[in-house]
Amino acid sequence: MTEIKRESSGVYLLRTENGAFHAKTVVVNAGAYSLLFAQSMGYGTSYAILPIGGSFFFTREKLLDAKVYTMQNPKLPFAAIHADPDCTQAWNTRFGPTAFALPKLERYHSLHIKDLFHALNIDKEVTKVYLNLFKDTTIRRYILKNFLEEVPMMGKEVFIHDAQKIIPSLKVSDITFAEGYGGMRPQIIDKEKHELLLGEAKIADKGIIFNMTPSPGATSSLAIAYSDALALCDYLDIAFDHAKHERMIQTRQA
Ligand SMILES: Cc1cc2nc3c(=O)[nH]c(=O)nc-3n(C[C@H](O)[C@H](O)[C@H](O)COP(=O)(O)OP(=O)(O)OC[C@H]3O[C@@H](n4cnc5c(N)ncnc54)[C@H](O)[C@@H]3O)c2cc1C
């Protein structure tokens, strides 16, 4: 997708590298790029992005049968580590994520520097938010700890204390850095309120919805799709088939 434009008829023109399309309604789920598309259309101009990267560690064998979460710190709700049996690694256990600021919008795609500067949107207001974050002892310690976790050799020694909350007998020699796993979470900064938004951010207007940082994460994707579908049906003045939706849920659960 290279451009989204609202035409005078109210229909959206979507330009892509594979041609142009028209749509009456659009939902943009493009990570950090959701905000950039929104801003290109005049929305969300009081938002900036703090790109948070996350990495994982693997064990050499399967230690857990199911996902185990640790308690969240309300100041850092996206940061509680968890452990999962990973289907891509013969169900060996994956611990993480770590969380640290990274000058990237996508972890494994090449970066367009212009987009990064646009997304960071650094000005007096954003700098104030960064300074406030650093003033908070919990957040300052967390940033430092997570930075150390990315340092080769030292990272595992620091991370192991978090992993031991889930499996107390785990040793440093049991875990290895999960190369190529992890991603970016674009946390939104509200420049008017001078705060880092910890939950999801959504901009919706005239049949277009921009989703950023679903919270708590991919887990909420279907709930978000459902509420977006309802909102768009409302905009198009058409009825959402609730009975069919319920039937499909029942079929899936059976
Ligand atoms: C390290 C880490 C650990 C996480 N752990 C969990 C967890 O345990 N549980 C959980 O529920 N959630 C977790 N999450 C959050 C979860 O990954 C995200 O909430 C989820 O991936 C968001 O889905 P999305 O489709 O909105 O965005 P994304 O998954 O970011 O997908 C957006 C897609 O849009 C594409 N895109 C961007 N720009 C364009 C463009 N111009 N044209 C076409 N395509 C474009 C991108 O390449 C990308 O493929 C984690 C996130 C991270 C970073």
Ligand 1: residue whose CA is nearest its atom 37: 30
Helix, strand and coil percent figures for the chain, each rounded to 5? 35, 25, 40
Q: List pLDDT tens digits, range 199-220.
A: 788 999 999 999 998 877 888 8
The model's confidence at residue 150, banded by pLDDT at 50, 70 and 90, is confident
pLDDT of 82 over the 90 cut: yes
Q: List pLDDT tens digits, range 185-194.
A: 899 999 999 9
Q: How far is the CA of 69 from the centre of ligand 1 (A)?
A: 19
Q: List pLDDT tens digits, range 101-135.
A: 888 888 888 778 888 888 988 899 999 998 888 88
pLDDT of residue 136: 87
Helices in the chain by DSSP H: which ranges? 32-40, 113-120, 124-135, 137-149, 155-163, 221-236, 242-253
Ligand 1: residue whose CA is nearest its atom 42: 1
* C-beta of 182 in contact with ligand 1 (< 6 A): yes
Write down the residue that tokens 């277009």 correspond to.
208
Ligand 1: residue whose CA is nearest its atom 40: 1
Residue 13 sits at φ, ψ, to 5 deg, of -105, 125
The model's confidence at residue 235, banded by pLDDT at 50, 70 and 90, is very high
* C-beta of 224 in contact with ligand 1 (< 6 A): no
Mean pLDDT of the chain: 91
40 versus 149: the higher-pLDDT residue is 40
* C-beta of 186 in contact with ligand 1 (< 6 A): no
Helices in 41-136 by DSSP H: which ranges? 113-120, 124-135
pLDDT of residue 253: 80
From CA 66, how far away is CA 94, in angstroms rounded? 11
How many residues are given for the chain?
A: 254
pLDDT of 46 over the 90 cut: yes
* C-beta of 199 in contact with ligand 1 (< 6 A): no
From CA 46, how far away is CA 13, in angstroms rounded? 25
Q: Domain-by-domain residue ranges, the chain?
A: 3-216
Beta-carbon contacts of residue 91 (< 8 Å; ≥ 6 apart): 62, 85
